[in-house]
A and B are shown apart, each in its own frame.
Chain A
Amino acid sequence: MSEGSATIDVEDHAREYDPEARARALQSLLIEKGLLSTDAVDRIIATYEEDVGPLNGARVVARAWSDPEYRDRLLDDALGAITELDIDVDEDTMEIEVVENTPTDHHLVVCTLCSCYPWAVLGLPPTWYKTPAYRSRAVKDPRGLLRGEFDLELDEEIEIHVHDSTSELRYMVLPQRPPGTEDLSEAELVDRVTRNAMIGVDRLGE
């Protein structure tokens, strides 16, 4: 990389100006240079605000609760099973592993190094997921974190499996099906899934 034009100290610049002004400056420069367009900005924002989101994950979970063969496929080959539901996953940028909660095992997802998250099924991550407070504590004291921050008291007999998302392989939790939902349709089951349960900071089923 060239040192040529780096006569600007990025950190000094960032301390001088708010992020919105810096983002708008980059946007205008990239549009002028033909690297970005007005409609591309609109399309990209609309994709993340409207097309992808945690409802995709809820549909996957409800199908797995309703169809044991689908559940088996989901745990064996998550990408294949997810795309069966017409959910778009770009395999070049993300692989997905689904991990299943049971009465004796609980899974929790984190990215200690940045903010990796299975956004194709859950949308973009909530702010708390991206904070040092969550990232630091999830791998060291997950039981205390869940109790203190999410009101989730896990019996000490329940083994917690923390998944630190260090690669482009992303994790989604398949929660347990809540009791008393035996008569619900798949569409009704979708409403019983929470985003937080698919991260593992919420636990359904007990």
Chain B
Amino acid sequence: MDGIHDVGGMDGFGSLAVDGHDADIDTGTDDGESTDPLSGGAYEPFHERWEGVTYSLFVATLGNGVANIDEFRHSIERMDPDRYLTARYYDRWVTGLSRLLLETDTIDAEDFWVRTAAFAAGEGSVPEREEPGLVGDLAAGVADAYGSEGEPREPRFEAGEAVRIENVHPEGHTRCPGYVRRTQGTIEAHRGMFTLPDASAHGEPAVEPLYEVAFGAQELWGEEADPNVAVTLDLWESYLVPVAPEGDAEPNEEAGTDDGDEGNDTDSPEGTG
């Protein structure tokens, strides 16, 4: 989805130090040295206890098979845009997890509302229940929630090939950021078979070849961009189309599976022969 989360290349968010769109305590860091946890700063992954609790809710949600990692990311992406930008980081997690637990009927809506009101009024209490074996089971469940099974297949592209990123705007989840769509990049490496988030986020497990793809900054941001900057992303095969060699009207959709360097590996003039 073309959601508020897809912020790559947007302007106007201001300084990391002063913009105030994340209320967490250590937002202000215009001096990398003084706040670095290896240079005297504190390493505080959770600023308050409830943030760590929220991390354990994430482990429980994935670890019990309620949802997978892609469904979780997509749930956060579906937040109202104004709240996405103003909520604290772990508030985004609580919101995303609440949606998943309700949509799967893991919790009851009325129970949740009543219980939340009680905690907000200072009248809630968390029950004590020990189960020493659970944390190991949850870890195994989380691992399952990250991976899909699927048949390995031959990668369609190889290192050095020019590719264009599909101009697609799916309603659902994707890990193809808007800022690379319709641009041209170069395959740097084949990474192996990875779970396809676009399918996995909607209950359809699938795997695809994943590639590291490099883009020059001027291809992404125009001629005024820094000529000495490259941006690389890991992109799934279905995001990519071959770039036709010069002279071909249309890219040959069947080419490139096993014919190596012949045909569609480059758009340079000397590569056409």
Rounded to whole angstroms, the CA-CA distance of A148 and B107 in the bound complex is 46
B126–A28 touching, CB < 8 Å: yes
Evaluate contact between A202 and B33: CB separation under 8 angstroms: yes
In the complex, A141→B231 CA distance in Å? 11
- Please tell me if the beta carbons of A23 and B94 are within 8 angstroms of each other in the complex: yes
CA distance A92 to B147 in the complex (A): 7
**Residue in contact with A2 in the complex, picked from B55, B69, B105, B203, CB distance below 8 Å:** B105
At the interface, yes or no: A205 with Cβ under 8 Å from chain B?
A: no
Q: Cβ of B8 < 8 Å from any Cβ of A?
A: yes
Most chain A beta-carbon contacts within 10 A, residue among B102, B116, B232: B116
Residue of A nearest to B76 (CB): A114
Partner of A128, one of B29, B52, B120: B29
- Contact A45–B33 (Cβ < 8 Å): no
**A7-58: which have CB < 8 Å to B?**
7-8, 10-11, 13-41, 43-45, 48-49, 53-55, 58
Cβ A133 vs Cβ B113 within 8 A: no
> B98 to chain A: closest CB distance in Å?
5
Measured CB to CB, the closest approach of chain A to B130, in angstroms, equals 5
Question: What bracket does the count of chain A residues touching chain B fall in?
Answer: 35 or more
Residue A41 contacts which of B21, B45, B56, B107 (CB distance < 8 angstroms)? Answer: B56
Contact between B94 and A26, CB atoms less than 8 A apart = yes
In angstroms, Cα B107 to Cα A27, docked, is 11
Q: Is the CB of A37 within 8 A of B230?
A: no
> Would A43 and B135 count as touching, CB distance under 8 A?
yes
Contact of B53 among A8, A13, A23, A39 (CB under 8 A): A23
Given contacts A28-B115, A123-B43, contact A41 B105 (CB under 8 A): no
Task: Please tell me which one of the listed residues B64, B89, B130 contacts residue A127 in the complex, with CB atoms under 8 A apart.
Answer: B89
A14 touches B103 (CB 8 A): no
Q: How far is the CB of A206 from chain B (nearest CB, A)?
A: 15
Across the interface, name the chain A residue whose C-beta is closest to B121.
A21
**Chain A residues, Cβ within 8 Å of B221:** 140
A85 at the interface (CB under 8 A from B): no
Residues of B within 8 A of A36 (CB): 56-57, 60, 134
Question: Given the complex of chains A and B, what is the CA–CA distance between A164 and B115 in angstroms?
Answer: 39
User: Ordered nearest first, which 7 A-B pairs have the shortest CB separation?
Assistant: A112-B8, A92-B143, A45-B52, A8-B109, A124-B45, A37-B131, A167-B234
Residues of A bordering B, CB below 8 Å: 1-8, 10-11, 13-41, 43-45, 48-49, 53-55, 58, 90, 92-93, 95, 112-115, 123-124, 126-128, 130-137, 139-143, 148-152, 156-169, 191, 193-196, 201-202
Interface residue ranges, B against A (CB under 8 Å): 5-11, 13-17, 19, 21-22, 24-27, 29-33, 35-39, 43-46, 48-50, 52-57, 59-60, 64, 66, 69, 73, 76, 79-80, 83, 85, 87-91, 94-95, 97-99, 101-113, 115-120, 124-132, 134-135, 138-139, 142-144, 146-147, 175-177, 179, 191, 194-195, 203, 210, 217, 220-221, 225-226, 228-236
In the assembled complex, 29 residue pairs joining A and B whose CB atoms fall closer than 8 Å, in A order, are A8-B102, A11-B95, A13-B116, A17-B120, A19-B50, A23-B90, A24-B124, A28-B126, A31-B129, A33-B106, A35-B66, A40-B134, A45-B52, A48-B46, A53-B43, A55-B38, A112-B177, A123-B37, A126-B29, A132-B7, A133-B14, A134-B16, A135-B7, A157-B228, A159-B229, A160-B230, A161-B230, A162-B230, A162-B231
